[in-house]
Amino acid sequence: MSTAAQGATSIDEALPPAPEAEAPQTGPRAWLKGLLEGELGSLRVLIVLALIWTYFALANSNFLTSTNLTNLALQIAAIGTVSVGVVLVLLLGEIDLSVGAISGLCAAIVAVLSVKHGWNGYLAMLVGLGCGAAIGLFQGSIITWLAIPSFVVTLAGFLGWQGALLAVLGDTGTVNLTDPAITNLANKFLADWLGWLLAIAAIAALVVSNLVNRGRRARAGLEQPPLANAIIAVGAASVAIVVGVYVVNQDRGVPVSLCILIGLVIFFEAIVQRTRYGRHVLAAGGNEEAARRAGIATTRVKTLVFVLAGTLAAAGGILAASRLLAVNQSSGAGDFLLLAIAGPVIAGVSLFGGRGSVWGALLGALVIGSISNGMDLLAYQSSTKFMVTGAVLLVAVVLDALGRKQRAVRGRA
């Protein structure tokens, strides 16, 4: 066997199995086992979300109104966008504590260029995204090339980029945004007919994707999961899409910012699950040393992840500024970082690396956003909100650790 073939074989052995290669689990006992071990993280999150919505709906009749749910969609767009980058970092088993500060700084750069210097809004946003990517490259290079823990480097960034934000804003303090190219990101809604068209396209994509996956398993000679499971999953998702579009159309329509978030989630989920680079990210997060010995350029893989995280943090900051129509000295501060990291963890993305889905960014943002939105409707004090959010995050981390222990015991059996 040639050296190239040996290298390719070793790399494939180091990579985690593709989703379609895993043996399907069926039956109530398998479902319960999957929940306990974190295999069915999305289902667990949906159950938690249903409980949260039920509680707040009973506590306040306004929670499930079309106006409030549309506001909820607007609220989670910025946090969810930042969380997409956080998911990529967590898949590596790393952490980025600077995403909140990066989002505020890049939003301030966009605002200053647009308002004070008269730049075109699209060009200003492009520069802001570029600054986020540059910051990610800077921090990622230090982490990977100098082997410094990401916690330390990004903690320094958390402090440093906040100072840079104050320097960019200068004595102004607050910069009000007026360029429609920027403000329309979070304040524009799709026409009803376009929302329904997207819903039909999304449902069709779900059906086609499921059929393609079943076809791939059949061609590979793998056992097919029960057709009933697929029908239930696609049917439930389709109902959720239809109901969601119907509800928001009763108010202002589907928010453009929500479309941006869902588009980013789908794009990066495809990268993680369907590309060689995504497999390398999962391999490096699962066992970096094994991945390196298999020939994966772990340094390059990790650095690029931090570049993507910085870019997505900038995008989230721009969406947040668009929604508030302003950037100020507290942009990206407060609980922004906590929520951006807590969401994916609550949605089942492992803190230990190698396990999770980019969909966790959307589901986690929905859970965190629902809790925050519901507590706002009930006029809870800030102290209570922080304690509740912290408790939810702690429970999610404990469940992740317990699931990891269960998988380790199963692996030794």
Q: What is the mean pLDDT of each run of 10 residues along the chain (413 residues)?
A: 44 45 48 53 79 92 92 93 94 92 96 94 96 96 92 94 92 89 93 94 89 82 78 86 93 93 93 90 88 89 95 96 92 85 84 80 89 90 83 77 68 58
In whole angstroms, give the CA distance from residue 99 to residue 371: 22
Amino acid at 24: P
Report the C-alpha gap between 225 and 230 in whole angstroms.
8
User: Which CATH code fits 40-188+255-412?
Assistant: 1.10.3470
> What single string gives the DSSP state of each residue in 359-375?
HHHHHHHHHHHHHHHHH
**Is residue 320 a contact partner of residue 365, using CB atoms and an 8 Å limit?**
no
Calpha distance 70→82 (Å, rounded): 20
pTM listed for this prediction: 0.86
Sorted by sequence, the CB contacts under 8 Å of residue 325 that are 6+ apart come out as 176, 177, 183, 187
Residue 226 carries which DSSP code? Answer: P
User: What is the Cα gyration radius of the chain?
Assistant: 22
Domain ranges of the chain: 40-188+255-412
d(CA 300, CA 296): 9
Residues 165, 1: Cα–Cα separation, whole Å? 56
Looking at residue 45, its pLDDT comes to 81
pLDDT of residue 222: 78
SS3 381: coil
pLDDT at 325: 93
pLDDT recorded at residue 84 = 95
Backbone angles phi, psi at 282, to 5 degrees: -65, -40
CA atoms of 279 and 348, how far apart (whole Å): 19
Looking at residue 120, its amino acid is N
Residue closest to 368 by CA, chosen among 347, 384, 354:
347
Q: What is the DSSP string of 333-363?
A: -TTHHHHHHHHHHHTT--TTSS---THHHHH
**Which residues, at least 6 apart from 188, have a Cβ–Cβ distance to it below 8 Å?**
255, 256
Contact present, 295 and 7 (Cβ < 8 Å):
yes
| Pairing of β 326-328 and β 174-176 | antiparallel
